[in-house]
Amino acid sequence: MTRLQNAEKQLADALAALESAFKTASSGGAPADSASSKHLAALVDEVSEIEAKLGAAIAMVAEIDAAQIAAAQNTAAQNTAAQNTAEASGKGDSE
């Protein structure tokens, strides 16, 4: 999960840089800059969408991890309970 979190941070940094570049480009006001600004704005939007999807993927992975941990803990608890029951039954038979 750490790699996904690192990727999310890098993407957020890239988005901040793009937004800064967009603000700089859009403040120029020249007609030639207008086309560049539109392309840059589209790129910022795409990166924002990717960032949102990556965030959703990280949340899904976290949910899956939590479910797997809970299942493992539940299985371990059931095994312990079954072992305790078996031991108690064995002690009762030998007494």
Q: Render pLDDT for 24-77 as a digit per residue (tens, 0 to 9).
A: 766 765 555 577 778 878 888 888 888 888 888 888 988 998 999 999 888 888
Give this prediction's pTM.
0.58
pLDDT of residue 17: 85
Burial of 36 (0-12, 13-18, 19+ CB in 10 A): middle
Q: Map out the domains of the chain as residue ranges.
A: 2-94
Neighbour count for residue 43 (Cβ, 10 Å)? 14
Q: How far apart are CA 39 and CA 21, in angstroms?
A: 11
Neighbour count for residue 57 (Cβ, 10 Å)? 13
Give whole-number Cα distances, 31 to 20, 25, 39, 44, in Å.
Answer: 19, 11, 13, 20
